[in-house]
Structure formats: C-alpha cells, structure tokens
Amino acid sequence: MLILGIESATAQVGVALGSHEGVVASAHSSKDRRHAESITPMISFVCEQANVELTDISVVAVDIGPGLFTGLRVGIASAMAVAHGLGVPMIGVSSLDLGAFAASHSSRLIVPCYDARRGEVFSAHYRSVPGGVQRVSNPAVSTPDELAAELMALSEEILFLGNGAERYREHFEMISGIEFAGNGLWYPSARSLVELSHPKAMREEFVSPSEIEPLYIRLPDAEINWKVRDGRS
C-alpha cells in the first residue's frame, strides 16, 4: 500500500510518499508560495528518492483544508488528477486534523490554528486518543479575539499551534494554561498526511476523485454580500 500525500493548504506546500514502513520520502517548501509550480516536480522527486514508479502508487491522500483558497485548490486539483490518471482512490484529510495529529503526544487540549487572512483564523479542538487524535469541536473560522475568548472560557491546559497561533500570539498570551508549540508545527505537513492516511487506507476509507470536496468553511465574499442584500430586501 503506497500512499502519495499532497498538502498545500497554508503557506507551505509538501508532497510525501509512505507505506506500512512509514514516510519513505518527502519534500516541503514554505518559501514564496509557488504551490502550482512546485507540486508536480515534488511528486517526481519523492518517487525518485523512494525508488518507486508513479504506477506503484495505490492511494492519493490530500489536505482538503481549511486553508488559503487558491493554494488549497492547487493541491486538490493536482491530487485529483493524479488519482484519476492512475485510476486509484483518494483519502481527504482536514488541515486541522493534520496539525493536531502532529501534536498527538500531548495530553493537553490540542488547538491547531491557521492564518485565514483578513484578520481571521481557522481552528478546531482535539484530544489525544490511542493511535492519534479525536476532534471535539467543529472546524471554525473566527477572529483571533473571538477564539481567545472561547479558549479562555474553557479554562483548560491547551497546546496551541499553527501559523495563526504564531501570527496572533499577543491575542492569546494572557490565557492561563496555554502553551505555544514550536515552529515545527506552524504548518500542516504532507508527512502527517501520509501517516494519518495509512490507517484510513487499511480500513479502506476511500473516496473517488470526484467525491473529494474542499473544506472552505468561509463563503465567497460575493455570496456573503448577496446574503446581506437578500436579508435587507
């Protein structure tokens, strides 16, 4: 079972390849946001490094967001095309799941938080469980202040991670019991994607390329404006 993982939901872009032996090759870049330029060459690169043929790939996993829309879609479009082209199934995983999974050693409440731009962040709450993490709240988009008020009200030990946590650090620092994770956890990674997808692949939790749906959470601005207009008229 050879899994190709493609991840591009945040400022980082990455591709990884793994099997029951774990991740066997990966490439990540968080500079210049050249996601569309990087992904295809990265796929070639990881296959060469792992000494496998593209046709050996049996599953394509992809980060379905939430994340920055354009970059996110570049990864999803690439992954769909690879899966369609090879005739293999897909696994879609949320960026927030990936962030929490990378911190699954923690006994605290794990809160990944990614920059959504325009003064907002994407976040959700997780708990460590044997073999991974379990999501205990719905993925949400909110302002840092709204999220800070929500976390404060929980009065819990929190492990806070992601580039949103870093960018808006001063909004959260006064929350007692909060711990900021290091910069190794700033972005969801393709390595986590492949690791997390392996048990799902063993359980055959597959979808077809046409069933993969991005997790946007936020509506397009035009639709938001339209709703406002509808409400008034």
What are the residues binding other proteins (CB under 8 A)? 34, 36-41, 43-44, 54-55, 69-70, 73-82, 84-86, 209-210, 214, 216, 220-223, 226
CB of 30 to other proteins, least distance (A): 17
Identify which of residues 42 and 181 has a Cβ nearer to other proteins in the complex: 42
How far, in Å, CA of 206 to CA of 120, rounded? 32
Identify which of residues 86 and 175 has a Cβ nearer to other proteins in the complex: 86
Identify which of residues 82 and 151 has a Cβ nearer to other proteins in the complex: 82
CB of 138 to other proteins, least distance (A): 21
**Residue 87 three-state SS:** coil
Identify which of residues 54 and 202 has a Cβ nearer to other proteins in the complex: 54
CB of 95 to other proteins, least distance (A): 16
C-alpha distances in Å from residue 180, one per residue of 101, 120, 163: 16, 18, 11
How far, in Å, CA of 160 to CA of 48, rounded? 36
CB 65 within 8 A of CB 95: yes
CB of 113 to other proteins, least distance (A): 23
CA angle 212, 218, 219 (to 5 degrees): 90
Upstream peptide bond of 66 is cis (omega within 30 degrees of 0) = yes
